[in-house]
Chains A and B, each alone.
Chain A
Amino acid sequence: MNSTKVIKLDSVTKVYKDGDRTVTALDNVSLSIEQGESVAIEGPSGSGKSTLLQILGALDEPTSGSVNIFGVEPFQLNDKELSKFRNETIGFVFQFFNLLPYYSALENVMVPLLLGGVSETDAREKAKTVLDELGLSDRLNHRPSQLSGGQMQRVAIARALGTEPKLILADEPTGNLDKENKAIIADLLASVSKKGITLIVVTHDQLLSERFGRKLRIDGGRLLQPSNEKVKDES
């Protein structure tokens, strides 16, 4: 049914202009993803994975094509509406964690909550709960520099989860982690998916992509596997 297709990309092209050089990072990509689906995006470096994720996350506007995420065409929104949409609907997990260095773990998780207008007290409570769930209750007041890579990424996931988004996007979340931590993060993301949150993860990591319902391959900005080819649906 159409209504379950919560993410729809139609003929999305992204061209970067770098001086007089132009790079077509995405070339006429169309895909749709259903509510609660977990999708792995694979592809060689420079193939356009991050670009795709940025467009899915309403962080970057495509050069052409249409984007519909949870019934919203984000790039038609004004800045205020778009910011609210990002804050409420999407959770982002970056390869390089992207934690604010001068904030503690707890405060980092509180940031999107506070930006969404949640009160300081509620934000603190919520952040504590989420961090606790991720096994970081003893690291609440540590700064990112005082945490290991795995812990940092868990804080980043906690930050993404805190606002209870409908969609979580992760760009090579295990890319900078050792084997042990890779497994922990993989487990975590799998459990996120089980909660019914739509999950899209860019990864090279076989171990990780195996855990997801669908794999998309991208090369040279083109989607290799047709978007409608559904492998299995765990939800």
Chain B
Amino acid sequence: MNPKQILKVSLRKMGIYKMRVAVIIVPVLVLTAISVVVSSELFSIRTVIRDKVLEKMAAEQQVISVTAFDEELPDEYKSKAEQIDGVKLVGFEYDLPVQQVAVDSVDGHIIKPYIVHTLTKKVGDVFSNEPFEYSDANPVPIILSRKALVYQEEDWGGKDEILVSFDSLGSINDLKDQVPVKSVSIRKPSKDLVNKEVEVSFGGLYTNPSYTVIDTDKGSTYKKLSSEQLQHEQKAREESISKYWDYQKLTNPITFKAKIVAIREDLMESAMFVPQDFADIVLNKITTRENEARKSTINGVYLASDFIGSATLDEGLKPTPLAVTNEQVFSLGEVSLFIAIGDDSSSTGKIFIPGLILDDAGHAVADERISLDDLSPLRMDVVISDVKNRRQVSNDLSKALGDNVSVGAFSAISSITMFTDFVNKLMDSLTIIFVIVTIISVVGVMSKIVAEGEREIGIFRALGATKMAIRFLIVGQTLIYFLIALIIGDMLGALSVFALSSKIAHQANALIERGLDYVLPISVHFETVDFLHFDIATVLQQHLLLIVVVALVALIPAYRASKITPVDAMRRE
């Protein structure tokens, strides 16, 4: 029997054995469609991760952060780290005690990183394409963490007053939706932000908020302030501050031209990085300005500053009860300075005066300038020569430096590798299920078809068909049904991928924006095309495997069929 005849018989018989053939076709078709969709989406996810996430993180993978738990990092740690195999270079990071940092404008918005770090040139060069150093002639190169790329946006929806009722809050996203003042992430890919010139400002006074929040036990009421109220607030602040400082001098921040040279995608903090040699310049300018702005010693005024780290207070200055215990000022996450006007803590008005510096020794509004030498390193950046050794080097660092430090062993790449491994296993499991289902349905259905077609096979035999021809017929018939299922399944799968891709892209964006953003600072925007990849190689491979399996399994009913004798055709109906 030639293939054409086999095809003809198979197709004609399909008309008779609709339900039986459906038992082969439908599960295979469904599984094929699922395979196409799953492999395609997994392929898309892998591609997306590779192109949109890993590539971004490539530079970050080269740097391992070492942080001291409670102490400063001793100098000797640097030499200890440098001796470890696979370590290329080591640099200390300092956190600048500078408050109220703003970058204007990043993609048209003002962003305010919470903290400013310094990076040595060599460490900075890992992230940056141009030398990470300061020179008078050029803009200051800055690196921003992805988490810093957030701006504030107000949306009152035409109202002056909004009650955010606690009862109505199901999740953090509900809160996000209802509160009129929102933090919005800038999701531009780093290539669109890098090389942009911006203006960085240090110090200066916060603008007074344009609304108040009144908390009750029912919820929070956000209320817009009228222009009279705003003016009144402004005036009160100016009067209080002017007693001790030149208000104008404090109001204006110190600004520099800057250029974004890199975006760090790996950090969970809102930070800006500046070259280490730029640190002294900033510190110098700010302390000088503060000294100049100060009109008189502040007698009987409670004063504290809460820049990162701790500061004891200068003589004659007493802490506000709010921010200070045991004469130690702790960071509360805000970069600000509290003063209490009056003689004691119960007196009126606490005013934020950002831009003032206390050094480590607690010299508030220092008379002398402070420099980087006055600060202690809080983080050590260890640059490794090969990303593959990241885990090994992390372990070695932990061993060498002891329990006092935390070594940033977390690697987005390793967790992503784990994820893609899982994804591959998923596809493998799907194929195994597929093989099992196929074997069961093929053997079951084809045996049934053979048994019921005894008479017909007998006729073929009586008319001169060889046993081999009958085997070919059954194997061929099985393969034809199977191929039909595969083809329809592939088409359905492809259609589903087309139908799903925009939804998946939408969901993926929503997931990143509303959830993942808190966990991993991946800032990517997905397009429909990102989810339109087809993993043709995997699908073909799976199809081929299945076709071979089906051909082999079909031999069981085929041999049974070839045993049917022509005499069986003579049986009564």
Contacts and interface: CB of A to CB of B under 8 A. Distances in A.
B462 A80 contact: no
Using C-beta atoms within 8 Å of the partner chain, give the interface range for chain A.
Answer: 20 to 34
Interface string B212-233: 0000000000000000000000
Contact of B466 (A79, A98, A107, A111): A79
A61 to B, nearest CB: 9
Name the residue among A60, A84, A107, A114 with the largest chain B CB count within 10 angstroms. A114
A173 interface: no
Interface string A63-106: 00000000000000001100110111000101010101111000
B459 interface: yes
A112 interface: yes
A193 B459 CA distance: 24
A92 B465 CA distance: 14
A86 B464 contact: yes
Best-surrounded residue of B467, B566, B569, B570 (most CB of chain A within 10 A):
B570
A86 B465 CA distance: 9
Given A79-B466, A96-B573, A112-B464, A59 B456 contact: no
Contacts of A86: 461-464, 566
B15 A96 contact: no
A177 to B, nearest CB: 15
Nearest to A60: B567
A24 interface: no
Given A94-B569, A171-B570, A116 B464 contact: yes
Contact of B4 (A60, A83, A120): A120
A100 B13 CA distance: 10
Contacts of B565: 59-60
B17 to A, nearest CB: 10
A43 interface: no
Interface in B419-472: 455-456, 459-469
B19 to A, nearest CB: 15
A79 B4 CA distance: 23
A1 B551 CA distance: 54
A84 B467 CA distance: 11
B5 interface: yes
Interface in B542-573: 565-567, 569-570, 572-573
Contact of B464 (A87, A94, A96, A101): A87
B1 interface: yes
B159 interface: no
A57 B467 contact: no
A171 B567 CA distance: 12
A100 B456 contact: yes
Contacts of B464: 83-84, 86-88, 112, 115-116, 163
A54 interface: yes
Given A59-B566, A115-B1, A102 B12 contact: yes
30 contacts: A50-B570, A54-B566, A54-B570, A57-B462, A59-B461, A59-B565, A60-B565, A79-B466, A79-B467, A79-B468, A80-B466, A80-B468, A83-B461, A86-B464, A87-B464, A94-B570, A98-B459, A98-B569, A100-B456, A100-B459, A102-B9, A107-B8, A111-B460, A114-B1, A114-B2, A114-B5, A115-B460, A115-B465, A116-B464, A171-B570
Interface of A: 50, 54, 57, 59-60, 79-80, 83-84, 86-88, 92, 94, 96, 98, 100-103, 107, 111-112, 114-116, 120, 159, 163, 171
Given A59-B566, A83-B464, A112-B463, 12 more contacts: A57-B462, A59-B565, A86-B462, A87-B463, A94-B569, A98-B459, A100-B459, A102-B15, A103-B12, A111-B460, A114-B5, A115-B464
Interface of B: 1-2, 4-5, 8-9, 12-13, 15-16, 455-456, 459-469, 565-567, 569-570, 572-573
